[in-house]
Structures are given as C-alpha cells and as structure tokens.
Structure 1
C-alpha cells in the first residue's frame, strides 16, 4: 500500500454514491459547495444496481405479461408470445447501465469530484481512502455517511446454496423457478411473489402467523383474494423444523399456525431476510459517534450526528430502509450545512408495493383508527365502477378514504389498483396539507381516468358516489 504523502483538503465529502449520496452531492453543488463523493463500488448504490431498479424491471415485465389476455382482446398479438428470461436480463442490464451513466454524467456536469475506493475515518475531520495499493488522506470540513445497508440471511437458514436467495440475488436468476417459495410479508416479498407468478412460476408464500401485511386490512383482504385467484398459495408459519437444500431444489418443513407440521418442496426459496446498516468498516465508533439502541447512527432533525462535522443519511439511520428516505435526508443534510432550516418528516411516507395490481398506503388505516378510538368515517370505491379501468382491463382493486368525522379532514388514503404508484404523490400531498373532503371534491378530474376513483371515494363518504351502488345510511356511520 502506498500512503499519500500530503493530506488533501476538501470542503464536503460524501461517502457512498447511492440515491441519497449522489442526491446530496448534486444538491451541495447546486448550493455552491465543493463536493467530493467517494464510492467503493458502482455509482447508484444497491438501489440502482441490485435493488429498486432491477426489482421494478421484473415487476414491470410481470405486469406486461399479465396483460396478455386483454391485449389479445384488443386484436394485438397471436396469443402464443413467449417469455424469454435472457432478453429480460439483457434489458435489465441496459437500463441499469444507462441510469448509472446518467448519474455519472450528472456528477461530472455538477463538477463533483468522484473518487473510487474504500473510505474509513481517521479522525473527526479526516478520511482515508484505499484503492488497490493507493491510500490517500483527506481533511474535510463536513462529511456525510451514505453507505446504505446490506442483506443478512435470517438465522433459521443455516446453510445456503444457489437455490436459497436474498433480495439482491433473486433478480439475477437466468430461469423462472418451477416452484418458488417466498418467505416474508414485507413489500419486496409480495412483489417477488406477484411478479414470478405472472412470469410463469408456481408460487407459495409463507408468512409469520403473528405478523400482518403492512397495509390497511381491506387491502390485505383484497390482495389475499387476488393471490388465491392466481393460485398463489399462502401459509402461516409459526416456526421451521428444517430447510434442506440440494442441487435439485429446496425442502422446507414448518409448523403451521395450528401447530401442525407441513412440508413443501420447491425449486427455489426466496427469503426477505433483514438488512443491516453498512458502516462497520468506517471505524466511526472509535470517535464517539453515538448509535441508537437498534444499532443505527443517531442523528438529529438535520441529519447531524453527535460529531458536529459528520452527518448520516439513508439506511445507516433509523427508519424505513427506502431510497425515498435517503434522497430526502441527503438534501436536508446539505441544506443544513449551508445554513438553511429544512426538515425531514416521515409521517406520511407512503407504503408502496409494485404488485399486480400495485398498492399504496398513506396515513391512518382502519385498524389504527379502532385502536386509537378515533371517530372517522370510511368510504371505499371499487375500480370496477371506473370507466378507464374497464377500458384498460384493470378493474381489480379500490380506493379507500378515511376522514375525521368532526372536521372532515382526510386522515388516510389507501389504494390497490392500476395507477396507485403514480397517484401516491397526490395522496401524500393531500394528507400533508390536511386537506378536507371539500378540497378533494372541488377540483375537476380528467375523464376517463383512474384519478376519478379518488373523487368517488370521497363522495362516497356521504353516499354521493355516482358510479357506486347506493349505500344505506347506517353504512355511513363512524366506526
């Protein structure tokens, strides 16, 4: 190893080139800072290279595959179109390479210095960067830790081969599994189950018998119905007896919620697993940077750690491990550094799942309302009554709205159905603005469009939805 003889001075150093890191770097450049970004692997981080983007390429392909019958009804296609995994993987690489090139170009255009190598803290104002035999030392005014997280296989998997897969491996498969067991009930597990079923795999889902899906109970009920219709079998497991992997497949034996032993044989097993913050190699514990009880870097509302010169964002901090959180935190950290007074508020962070159909959940759920004893009224508009849903053949799902019975402020919006992902921003804005029912009913909505479902769901709160079966007065009472 060759150690740099001169300590180089830098203004702002960001460690990690994922969505949070490069967003912070670009915002810093926009605000006039001289920015150095250090990345050990590929620009874009796990999200672009192994997580968000690859998974959504698969979910997009699955959604298109599921449209085959509808497309044939429109007079398109022969009905014998083949799905080729190799082409999908080639397309995935093309998309990832293109997006990564775009991120690198943006950094260059914003005059951000990008250094390749493994970073570690040498002090509260110094960082060392190792790249092969080269080791350089940088002195900084401020630094932002944006090193993300990594997947960890759960303890019940004692041995792992090529047929037991984590989230950063499942989308590398060169074949569609004959039978895929999905263990988990988080959004990525649901996306994997939904997508691979649409792409031709037999799918079984194992969930924890004490855990529920992360949505409003009505959405969970509808998703279970759709899974059953697509022959996706769901099991509730209270524990595992054994997991045996061979070259031919995986045999999983577990206890059901009724304490009965059951065995499933499959070609592959997907495990959601857990993710751990990726900062151990940075050596921050040597300098007294405080951590939370859960093992994350402790930060204040400005993303500043217990060391004033060091900030942390994204998966290394507590909260949902989502790119949207990292991006927002990255911008806030840099804006705080230049003296602005920004804020990160995750109250209305949407829960999103790119299932078929997609799901979005924002704000208060019906089960939350019951637990809290809140006086709310609820309306649910089924997309089967939406004209555009009928045109596109996307009639599954609904939009559900919860409103405060006293002041008519909308407290929660939940949707399972086509267009949910794109409409989620509107849902979040409405809740952030403490919108009232009238604020949603007053504007004009494009016709025909999925967006009309939101209007009808709100009108349904007082029994005035046009394209819905009339409700009885007793059904409009608060819960």
Structure 2
C-alpha cells in the first residue's frame, strides 16, 4: 500500500528542504525525495563550497599584501588539495546538518529517483527497488544543472563544468573561462588569484551582463589590474582538444583567432532538471527546460507546485528558499505573498565582490522613471581605507518624483553583506528621506550607503 502524505517535495536543495521543514512546522505530514545529496547543488556543489575556496584565495591574496599592513610573511604558497579538502569538509558538514533538521522536524526522507506516474502519486526508484507514495500536494524542486553547448562539452580533463572546478584534477596554468556570469567570474577570480593566466570570454557586450553597466565596467577594470584578460563580444566557435592542451577558436567582430589553453571552464548557463518526471503526461507545462508557474508557484495542475531553479529566473538559492516557505504556507491554508523577483538581490563573490537589487539605471530610464542617481566611492570612506580596500563603488537609483529606491548596485569589499540594508529598505518601502534621516554608525563601510543616497539628491558630505 502506498504511503500517504499531505505534501511530497521532490528535491532536497535550498528550495525543497526549506519547503519540507516549513510544511512540517505547520502540521503537515511531509515527505521529501532526493536522488543524490541533501542540500542540493547549492550546498554540495555551488554556493557553499565555492565560497570556502574563494575565502582561501582571499587569504592568499592578503598574505601577499602583508607589507602594506606592516607585517611580514615569507614563503607564501598554497596546497590546492588542502584548499579543496577544506571546501568539501564544509559542504559535508552542512549536508549532515540538513539531514538533522529534516529528522528533527519529522520529515520522512526517501533517497532515490522520483517520477509522477499520475496526479497525486510519486514513484521513487531506490537502491532497494521502488517505493510508491501518495500526496495531496506535490512540490517539484529538482533544480538545474550546467548547460553544455555543442563542441564545449565537459570531459573532466581539459574542459570542466563547475563540478570539475570544485575538485580540480590540477591547477590550471593557462585558463579559459567561457561565460562571465556569477559562476564563471567566481571561478576566474579564484584561479586567477592563485596564479593561473586567466582569460574570460563573454558573448554579450560586457562582463557580468545582468549588472548595472557602470558596476560591470568598474569590475572589469579591477579584473584587468589583477592580470585577468576579459574579452567581451566574443564567442567560442570551436575547441580543438589534444593531449594536455585545448586550442580555442574565438570570434570577435566577425574575425576568428586562436589561442591555446590547458584548461577550459564552461559556465554558459543552466538547464532545468525536468527529465524523467513524467511532466508532459501530467499536463505540467515546460518552456525552455523550466516549469511554467504563476506568481505563487502553481503549475496549472491542481496540487502541483514548482519552486527554485526549475521554475525559472532568478536562479538563486535564497529565491528558492523563500518560494519554498510560501508554497508550504499556501498548502497549509495560510495567506502567503508572492515572491517579487525585483526584490531579490544578486551576489557575486569575486574579488572585488559585486551585489545588486532592483532596477539598473538603464532599466529605470527605460521604464520612464524620473531617475536620480547617487554614487559614492570606497576611496572616500575611512573604514575602507583602513581595511586597505579603497577600490569600490556604491550606486543608488531613485524615482525623483516619489523618492522610492528603485535599485542599488555595489562593487567592492563586503558588498554582498552591505546589500541587505537596501533590500530591507525596499521591502519597507522607505523613501530617500527615510534613508537620509537614518543614522549610520562610524566608522563602517555602511556609511557609503548613506552617502550614496545623499549624493542622489545633491547632499553628499564626504565627496
């Protein structure tokens, strides 16, 4: 006889396991199905292990700057295997933590491959056979995987995906990174800091193309100063693979040139994990490998929801988690607000860091706002100078008529932490006057946020 549940979640990533826990908190009988790792890609092969590796690179970089701080450090080096081992240990620790939380909240876990043979039914293929489950509500949170373009397929030796880059078989000497979104730039920053001769190609007209153009340009200059080569408006037409080397055919402005590398990282986007679920037969609509949903993650098939990466952009863990909470609350009969994509921040943990929320300056103008823009450079902030991190920029975009904060964009040290101040401001619908009257502590990097607001209305003090 099939086991019956109020809610069955397929996928235990940051969307799925959070949905399961919230559902259990609300008194639902919940099951979760995971085919590989509790915590999903984010915890095991994405957000967390990459940040652990980037932290190692950051410390390595600071060690080389010891003299600036009146310190001395000799024989500076690194052990790549040890860096990776630390990263994997942290991922393992958090993976165990997710298991503990699910057990604590009495969520029943099924490890195996899920499919939906009929409405309200889930079949789980496990190592021991198969398990049939029934659920009044089913939440699909199967996530996504790296997109592979023809000719750029990963082989784990010469051409890597993010998974290979997290457990690299060697330290690249001459590295090509294809794609300059968050994943590509983070790995470019990591390996470049450790000494790889790094080139980044981007088919769009600038790197970090979803960011504000001014922030992208600032970041590009910093990367160039670190020795990184950035090639915008460039497409990889072909890769010729030979023993120990790859010849890349790069097209820029209609002209094709070749360069030789020993390693290529492909970071050209993601595709949703929709295969094998039985979505077509169930009537769940899929477009461009992602499930189509309404603002509250309903698929159009009664009792079936989709959250996180499988439900489309923005492809961010915090968006998935928030959707998981929302869906669990809807299933439990509570009122739940739809997630507003414009209120979700993006963070890129390269050096320098990049963070943003809301509309860019260009987007605000295109939407017809009477735009007022404020800027404040890190060089004008005492804490930034004291930290030795004087390269950066805070940019704010306001509606000049209402004073509403339309967007905020940052590049520099610790901006992935600073951005939360503007997120809260947008959530509370604060105006420029509210932000101007807020007292920011001194000396802090956050003072730059205040100054950027003041600058938008011609009132900056320290610049």
Q: CA RMSD in A?
A: 1.8
CA displacement 1:409-455 (0-9 Å, x = unmatched)? 22221110112111122111212333211211212211111000011
User: Quick check: 1:86–1:174 contact (8 Å CA) kept in 2?
Assistant: no
TM-superposed deviation, 1:268: 0.5
Cα pair distance change 1:51/1:261, threshold 3 Å = same
Give 2:59's aligned residue: 64
Separation in structure 1 between the aligned mates of residue 303 and residue 443 of structure 2, nearest angstrom: 53
Give 2:332's aligned residue: 338
Equivalent of 2:223 in 206, 210, 227: 227
Equivalent of 1:242 in 238, 245, 263: 238
Separation in structure 2 between the aligned mates of residue 158 and residue 8 of structure 1, nearest angstrom: 41
2:463 paired with 1:460? no
CA displacement 1:43-94 (0-9 Å, x = unmatched)? 1111111111122222222222222244443344524221111111110121
SS of match in other structure, 1:114: strand
User: Quick check: 2:206–2:232 contact (8 Å CA) kept in 1?
Assistant: no
User: Quick check: 2:234–2:252 contact (8 Å CA) kept in 1?
Assistant: yes
Cα pair distance change 1:161/1:169, threshold 3 Å = closer
Equivalent of 1:280 in 275, 278, 301: 275
Count residues with an aligned counterpart. 461
2:304 paired with 1:310? yes
Give 1:84's aligned residue: 79
Scaled by the length of structure 1, what TM-score is found?
0.92
CA displacement 1:144-176 (0-9 Å, x = unmatched)? 111111223112426845111112221111432
User: Quick check: 1:237–1:254 contact (8 Å CA) kept in 2?
Assistant: no
TM-superposed deviation, 1:274: 3.0
Give 1:475's aligned residue: none
2:313 paired with 1:319? yes
Scaled by the length of structure 2, what TM-score is found?
0.95
2:137 paired with 1:137? no
2:256 paired with 1:254? no
Cα pair distance change 1:463/1:90, threshold 3 Å = same
User: Quick check: 2:342–2:359 contact (8 Å CA) kept in 1?
Assistant: no
Q: State which drifts further: 233-242 or 38-47.
A: 233-242
CA displacement 1:204-225 (0-9 Å, x = unmatched)? 1111155662211111111111
Give 2:348's aligned residue: 353
User: Which of structures 1 and 2 has the bigger CA Rg?
Assistant: 1
2:57 paired with 1:34? no
2:364 paired with 1:369? yes
Unaligned runs of 5+ residues in structure 2 are none
Equivalent of 1:107 in 95, 102, 106: 102
TM-superposed deviation, 1:180: 0.7
Equivalent of 1:298 in 286, 292, 297: 292
Separation in structure 2 between the aligned mates of residue 93 and residue 158 of structure 1, nearest angstrom: 25
Separation in structure 2 between the aligned mates of residue 34 and residue 373 of structure 1, nearest angstrom: 48
CA displacement 1:304-327 (0-9 Å, x = unmatched)? 222212211112112222211211
